[in-house]
Chain A
């Protein structure tokens, strides 16, 4: 229960983490703006028929990270969050990016550009496997965080992957044509 509901505790000096133990909660508004705008554009131009905004997906997961109540009521919150996040790169995301944005990288151009899309694919594979409760999610997590010693997709690992995923999308959309 929230300490603020307690008339005695609300008068005491306390400090809260406000969710900042998770880097996902600290993703800046400007990063979310970029991802929200660009993914929304893909959804509209690609006629994807989505009834949610990318921003809502990200902010809802930030809220989930912060809420112990939600997490304890839903033991599969990570899997459900992964399913929502995957929406951002669902369908033919790579093709759509090259269709609608002049500045996103093109896979065949160079190893560097290919790596960007491979990173994207690795994120998507991880989110997909986790959302579908596939055992392969752990292996995908190891690839995404580039750490073979990961033995469990705990909050920390999940937080790191989700954050890197959003920042990866931001970089992808802010990619400047050379």
Chain B
């Protein structure tokens, strides 16, 4: 017994010693109070993202969460303001477009990388070409045939064909230092690197836990007001909300809808909810069970009560979607045309015309487990059953669900995506076999329409052409938009922020002190 007690005591001491070895130093909270009680100037910020920062290579970023951080460290030639849609100059100060649709950019003088080197045309050539093979940004660079340095401060982007979305695409192709990337080689992205031109640079990096950004003193638009940004990775949103409410974080987004009412009622911090550039939709697969008939797919469309889904899943915090791409936030996106409103009687009528007056079994609704897609699927299953369409629900974890969606091995798939400012983004979700099986159009025909619209540089004419594209898509009844989400934010009382739907611009924030 004594031996056991001694052993337990030794283990306790060992555990305490191990814990003490992990003890950190005193930290400074963003309100200026150090954990050891002293007061400092309020110039730092504590934030979190909901996924690990797996890489700081902006060309191989693996999630939007990573981009929330990286877009404060790296910049493109231009930046698209999410609220106004305007293109704001960054590394480039101006551009021209020739008759062939090629873009020539004049680089701004005085722009430096974080290591102090000036940005040259060669860096731009290197950066844009590097994106060609990137799974993350290869789609944005797909329309570029070549990038040429005309001189030290002039770059030409040669396009494969005229492309109205090119400026939008270029905004997401970040310019990085060829020298730093070459020096770091395969390690670039995994360690601190002074390769960006943005208002902040990394000073420490432990991508699974925490990292710190420091304001770049030589930033060409002036040093940021907030000097230090401390990030944590908090994957669980409930835990993140508790951290925010207890003062460990200064700003938070993606607050669960179930908690939003409490946040709204709390006077201790600021809050805001704005439209997000994200659409949730049901992909109705013409290759799915009994869904080859367009009348059955249209019956599905008319059977869906979007507001009921929004109320049930998002506590009412969403906007019913008539179009697959939010029209108010994306260039070239149509805002008129064929729309499916909730009409269960019409749904039943279409089923009867298709020969299924007594009902039909249409396989499964595929949803990613433990996400809102699963909840949407549950409500939709009931709505479809009410008109005579019987469906099961198939829940799969993320990778397995995406695998089936990409292979078109589903009947109805619940999914969604974040749009990045242009109707052209829809191209990432086109699946030729689905079009060819639709009975309403072929992929070749649809592509030709879409390509023609993309090559129209006049915004008004392009929008009209995209309206036709959208009508073609809706007649196919393969993409059934359900709702646009809303982005919510809460932040400390004395922090001034400008909230954008997707990518926060910390440069524009400051403390009122």
Our verdict on whether A and B bind, yes or no, reads: no
